[in-house]
């Protein structure tokens, strides 16, 4: 017990030294992506990478130094990958004011440009729409197959996930904790139930650093240290980066804080897949800083993460990463012995905590700023139909799967259903060499890109393109 008390005191001292840094980094993690100008206005968007159909609101910030300056009219235009304007709106911007535009969505995969212009100048931001992954891959996962704790699916939906319910073989129960403080008045009782579930075989994934007010309720709570470029370990490799570029993910999700485990010699710690973290011997701790690691508690697993996933939840890459992480936690295969001793220690600590009052003020402290509750809704699983003016001979739509995959068929949404010969399908492994195929059944093999096009030389089709997706 002396060791745990020592760790708690060390975490408190570290917290005081890091407070200013953490507040700054937390603000940076929640900040919008913006393009500024020396005069006129600043254009902001919540993320550069969005899911197909995900709604977002652009924001204009006036840079007028004089509050009495006249209002200006600013036009917003969203251009699709072919350079066609797919949405326009005009906003009145008063001096020293902030104006939200109407909700926009990127209707199909590809790169877009959002442009704002007025007499004060023109600003543009490049946006990217990532295709909706299939169930079980990336941003959409069969939640029922993971056996999540009650309310976890709703929690993920509130943070911008597309959550589906599919019949599948159940696996071990996974408890996702977004806020380590939990909620409610009787914290000792809540944590007692939590650790009993883990000791009985559940897996727990913690998505935020542990604040000092509740450090005593967690088996390992610090100390924390500023993160660095080396604090990724294997967090920015497969399977977590499946569906996106690993370096791209590291740039977005570099942790502001990480665990300093140099003095941690009481617990055996592991990588996400059950491989033991290296240390010189069992008397010494773990070198470096750690943003993602696991340990055993009873028959269950506990995984800590300081990656700012929830702070970037509007970005499609963060959602894909988190769903890959959840899937990996639920399907861990490597055998590691149980840890009944740590389960017994936590039982004793919870009994002690039940006899001591909990400081509400201390429990309110947090490291990362929580994401705004009224931000973009979960991605729409069905994007809107393309405008009739876009469905003309020569038009095409490309589905980029990010990595080669075996696709059995395509699910087409063309309204009304067109006749044979009014559209063409092709698949490619590299985006340069294409293999044509006649119907929804895709040729055998692995494909990275699939294209639907309107053949040249045909009459204008009497159908609209409303989307298509892979069937694995």
Token pair of 29 as six digits: 């993690």
Q: Are strands 434-437 and 464-471 parallel, antiparallel or unpaired?
A: unpaired
CA dist 374 to 103, 155, 176, 179, Å?
13, 14, 21, 18
| 205 and 309 both lie in a single domain | yes
In angstroms, the CA 185 to CA 271 distance is: 34
Q: What is the pTM of this model?
A: 0.64
* 167 and 315 in a common domain: yes
* 240 and 144 in a common domain: yes
Q: Is the dihedral of CA 160, 183, 145, 153 positive or negative?
A: negative
Report the alpha-carbon distance of residue 362 to residue 350 in Å, rounded.
Answer: 18
Cis peptide before 416 (omega within 30 of 0): yes
With respect to residue 125, please indicate whether it lies within any of the assigned structural domains.
yes
Could you say which of 85, 102, 130 is where a domain stops? 130
Closest Cα to residue 242, out of 303, 164, 323, 168? 323
Q: Count Cα atoms within 13 angstroms, Cβ side, for 423.
A: 26
> Within the chain, which residues score under 70 in pLDDT?
1-39, 64-71, 96, 120, 132-172, 183-185, 232-233, 245-247, 358-366, 368-390, 401-402
Contact status, residue 267 vs residue 237, Cβ threshold 8 Å = no
461 part of a folded domain: yes
Residues 416 and 339 in one domain: no
| 418/467 same-domain check | yes
Copy the structure tokens of residue 207: 């998505």
Residue 410 to residue 160: CA distance in whole angstroms: 25
Question: What is the per-residue DSSP string for 218-287?
Answer: SS----EEE--TTTTTTTTSTTTTTTS-HHHHHHHH--SEEEE-TT--SS--B-TTSPBPP-SSTTS---
Omega prior to 239 cis, within 30 of 0:
yes
> Does 164 fall in a domain?
yes
Print the SS3 string covering 132-176: CCCCCECCEEEHHHHCECCCHHHHHHHCCCEEECCCCCCCCCEEE
CATH number for the domain including 41?
2.60.40.1930
Question: Does 59 lie in the same domain as 166?
Answer: no
Q: In the beta sheet, which residues pair with residue 41?
A: 62
Mark which of 327, 349, 364 sits at the end of a domain. 364
Amino acid 421: pLDDT = 79
pLDDT of residue 165: 47
* pLDDT score at 349: 92
Tell me how far CA of residue 307 lies from CA of 32, 47, 62, in angstroms: 18, 17, 33
* 231 plus 323 within the same structural domain: yes
| Terminal C-alpha separation, the chain | 52
What is the number of alpha carbons within 13 Å of residue 93 lying toward its C-beta?
A: 29
In the Cβ-directed half-sphere of 20, how many Cα atoms lie within 13 Å? 1
Domain count, the chain: 3
Per the CB < 8 A criterion, the answer to whether 442 and 410 are in contact is yes
Q: State the CATH number of the domain containing residue 459.
A: 2.60.120.260
Domain end residue (candidates: 364, 399, 415): 364
Cβ-in-10-Å burial (0-12, 13-18, 19+) of 432 comes to exposed
d(CA 205, CA 208): 10
Is residue 274 included in any domain, yes or no?
yes
Instruction: Say if 376 falls within a structural domain.
Output: no
DSSP structural state of residue 298: B
In a 3-state reduction of DSSP, which class is residue 47? coil
Within-domain flag for 375: no
- Determine, yes or no, domain membership for 382: no
Whether residue 85 sits in one domain with residue 22? no
- Assess whether 111 and 166 both reside in one domain: no
Residues 211 and 102 in one domain: no
Answer yes or no: do 244 and 332 share one domain: yes
Query: Is position 374 within any domain?
Result: no
Any residues with CB less than 8 A from the CB of 283 and at least 6 apart, and which? 265
Q: Crossing angle, helix 340-354 and helix 187-199, to 10 degrees?
A: 170
For residue 403, the enclosing domain spans: 388-471
How far is CA 309 from its chain centroid? 5
Based on the domain organization, do 311 and 336 belong to the same domain? yes
């Amino acid at each position: 017990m002396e060791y745990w008390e020592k760790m708690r005191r060390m975490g408190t001292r570290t917290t005081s030294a890091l407070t200013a840094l953490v507040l700054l980094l937390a603000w940076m993690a929640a900040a919008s992506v913006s393009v500024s100008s020396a005069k006129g206005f600043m254009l902001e968007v919540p993320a550069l990478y969005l899911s197909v159909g995900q709604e977002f609101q652009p924001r204009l910030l006036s840079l007028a130094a004089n509050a009495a300056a006249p209002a200006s009219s600013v036009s917003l235009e969203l251009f699709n990958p072919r350079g066609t304007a797919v949405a326009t709106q005009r906003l009145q911007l008063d001096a020293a004011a902030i104006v939200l535009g109407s909700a926009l969505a990127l209707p199909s995969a590809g790169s877009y440009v959002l442009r704002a212009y007025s007499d004060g100048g023109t600003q543009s931001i490049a946006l990217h729409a990532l295709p909706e992954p299939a169930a079980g891959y990336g941003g959409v996962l069969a939640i029922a197959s993971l056996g999540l704790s009650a309310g976890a699916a709703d929690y993920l939906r509130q943070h911008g996930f597309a959550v589906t319910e599919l019949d599948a073989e159940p696996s071990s129960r996974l408890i996702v904790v977004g806020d380590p403080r939990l909620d409610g008045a009787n914290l000792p009782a809540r944590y007692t139930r939590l650790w009993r579930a883990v000791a009985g075989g559940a897996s727990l994934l913690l998505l935020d650093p542990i604040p000092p007010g509740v450090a005593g309720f967690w088996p390992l709570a610090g100390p924390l240290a500023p993160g660095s470029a080396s604090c990724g370990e294997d967090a920015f490799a497969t399977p977590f980066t499946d569906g996106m570029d690993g370096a791209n993910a590291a740039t977005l999700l570099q942790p502001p804080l990480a665990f300093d485990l140099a003095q941690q010699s009481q617990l055996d710690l592991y990588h996400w897949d059950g491989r033991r973290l290296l240390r010189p011997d069992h008397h010494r701790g773990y070198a470096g800083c750690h943003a993602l690691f696991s340990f055993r508690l009873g028959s269950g697993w506990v995984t800590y993460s300081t990656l700012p996933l929830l702070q970037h939840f509007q970005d499609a890459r963060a959602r894909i990463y988190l769903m890959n992480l959840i899937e990996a936690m639920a399907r861990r295969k490597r055998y590691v012995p149980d840890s009944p001793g740590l389960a017994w220690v936590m039982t004793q600590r919870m009994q002690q905590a039940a006899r001591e009052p909990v400081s509400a003020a201390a429990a309110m402290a947090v490291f990362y700023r929580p994401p705004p509750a009224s931000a973009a809704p979960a991605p729409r699983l069905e994007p809107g139909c393309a405008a009739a003016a876009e469905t003309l001979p020569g038009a095409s739509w490309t589905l980029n799967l990010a990595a080669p995959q075996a696709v059995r068929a395509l699910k087409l949404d063309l309204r009304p259903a067109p006749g044979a010969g009014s559209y063409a399908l092709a698949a490619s492994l590299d985006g340069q060499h294409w293999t044509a195929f006649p119907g929804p059944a895709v040729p055998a093999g692995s494909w990275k890109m699939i294209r639907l096009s309107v053949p040249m030389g045909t009459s204008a089709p009497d159908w609209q393109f409303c989307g298509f997706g892979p069937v694995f």
